Structures are given as structure tokens and as C-alpha cells.
Amino acid sequence: MAGRRHHALLVLAAVMATSCSLVAAHLMPRGQEQEEEMPVIPDMMMRPKSLPVPPVPTRTVAEICRGTSFPELCTATAGKQAARYGTVDVLTVLQMEVDALGERTKAARARVDREAAAATPAGRKALHQCNSFYGDVMDNLDACRRAIGHKDAVTIRSTMSMVAQDLQFCDEEFRKAGEKNPLQQFDQSLGNMSEICRSLSNMIVVD
Ligand SMILES: *[C@@H]1O[C@H](CO)[C@@H](O)[C@H](O)[C@H]1NC(C)=O
């Protein structure tokens, strides 16, 4: 026993200049001589670089959209934005839907430009009005994004009411002009998307 300790101390002195892992190996009991040849990796290096992420119950966009007034439209429009976001919860789907609303509003404005060329003077005036209502929609979407950041469901709903109202105002301009609204498809889908945002805002859990 004493001899072995003496041996170990000698070895310790001999390997002072070498790594600690080698020391650890040489201090091992005789019975483990096989393992002595193997490099001893310090404990810290054996730990995985990042701890495994505990499993979080994840929901899909479709699952969250199921609780809204237009589940299919929600999944189709919000889903398109999904790649920009990591985890999916009510707030991220709401952000996605607001992004989708913004994209669709931009598309409606591009349509305004195309329609204006061939429009009657009254039609052109209505298109011009609609374009400014769409500008209002964009402002309300920005306000909505800020409200999402604060989980402020009341403000989210009021921005969506204003969006829906702007779309109705656009429709009204064409009624007043006695013309068919060439933006009707846009106004309807945008209106339905604002309803989706409203439903999603009702699902926000404030902790
Ligand atoms: C919007 O919703 C109405 C029902 O409220 C539906 O008739 C219409 O087809 C929907 N339009 C779009 C473009 O989603």
C-alpha cells in the first residue's frame, strides 16, 4: 500500500509538466491498468456544449387557427409567414396574420394603381380614396404590432375595428360613385383577416 503510494507520488512528480489528465490516469488503482492507457477527458469537456432543450408542447399554426372565425384562411395566410418565426403560439400567429394583412394590403394598393389607368373619373376618385384608407390600414397594423408586444388585447381589437371600418369606407366610395368596387375581393379577404386577428386576440393569455 505504502509502496504504491510512493510510486504514485514519483509518477506525480514526473508528470508535473504534463497534463492533469495524465496524473489522474496514473493515480488509478492497479486493477484498471487497461484504462490507464486511455486519455482521460476532463469532466467539463464531456458535457454536451448545450444542454438538451426540454420538450415544450408545441402547437401548429393550423391548431391555433382552428379557434378563429376563418380557420382555413388563417392557416393559409399566417402559415405563409411561419418561416420568419421560431416557436408557434397565439402571439406569433397573431404577428404572422398581421404581416399577412400588411402584404395583402400592399397587393391591394398595387391593384389600385393598375385599376386607376382605365377608371372613370368617379371611379378614379374612389380608388384614390381607397388608397388613402389602405394607408390608414397600414398605420393601424403598426399600432397593432406594438399592442401585440404589450399583449394588449383591447388595443389590438380597436386597431382591427379601425381596419374593418377603413375597408367599409372603401366599399362605400364605390357605392356613392355608382360603380362596382374592383377591390371588393381585397376588401372582403382583408376584412376576414381582421376578424381572424380579433379572434386570436381573445385567446391571448396574460400572465
Ligand atoms: C369572407 O367572409 C365571408 C363570410 O363572412 C365569406 O362569404 C367570404 O367568402 C369571405 N371572403 C374571403 C375572400 O375570404
* CA of residue 73 to ligand 1 center, whole Å: 9
- Grid cell 408542447 is found at 57
Q: Count CB atoms within 10 A of the CB of residue 139.
A: 14
| Ligand 1: centre distance to CA 155 (Å) | 24
Q: Top-level CATH class of 62-201?
A: mainly alpha
pLDDT of 45 > 90? The answer is: no
Grid cell locating 198 = 380579433
> Looking at ligand 1, which residue's alpha carbon is closest to its atom 5?
192
Specify the higher pLDDT residue, 46 or 172: 172
pLDDT band, very low/low/confident/very high, at 43 (cuts 50, 70, 90)? low
Instruction: Confirm or reject: Cβ of 18 under 6 Å from ligand 1.
Output: no
CB 73 near ligand 1, within 6 Å:
yes
In the reported structure, the alpha carbon of residue 152 is separated from the centroid of ligand 1 by a whole-number distance in angstroms of 27
**Is 159 close to ligand 1, i.e. is its CB under 6 Å away?**
no
Q: Is the distance from the beta carbon of residue 188 to the nearest atom of ligand 1 less than 6 Å?
A: yes
Q: How far is the CA of 150 from the centre of ligand 1 (A)?
A: 30
Residue 9: per-residue pLDDT: 45
pLDDT at residue 67 is higher than 60:
yes
CA of 178 to the centre of ligand 1 (A): 23
State the average pLDDT for the chain: 82
Q: Name the band, by pLDDT with cuts 50, 70 and 90, for residue 16.
A: very low
Q: Residue 162: which of 136, 188, 192 has the closest Cα?
A: 136
Q: Is 189 in the pocket of ligand 1 (CB under 6 A)?
A: yes
Distance (Å, rounded) from C-alpha 40 to C-alpha 79?
50
Ranges of each domain in the chain: 62-201
* Rounded distance between C-alpha atoms, residue 7 and residue 131, angstroms: 90
Ligand 1 near 76 CB (within 6 A): no
pLDDT tens-place string over residues 83-122: 777 778 999 999 999 999 999 999 999 999 999 999 999 9
Instruction: Pull the grid cell for residue 101.
Output: 394583412
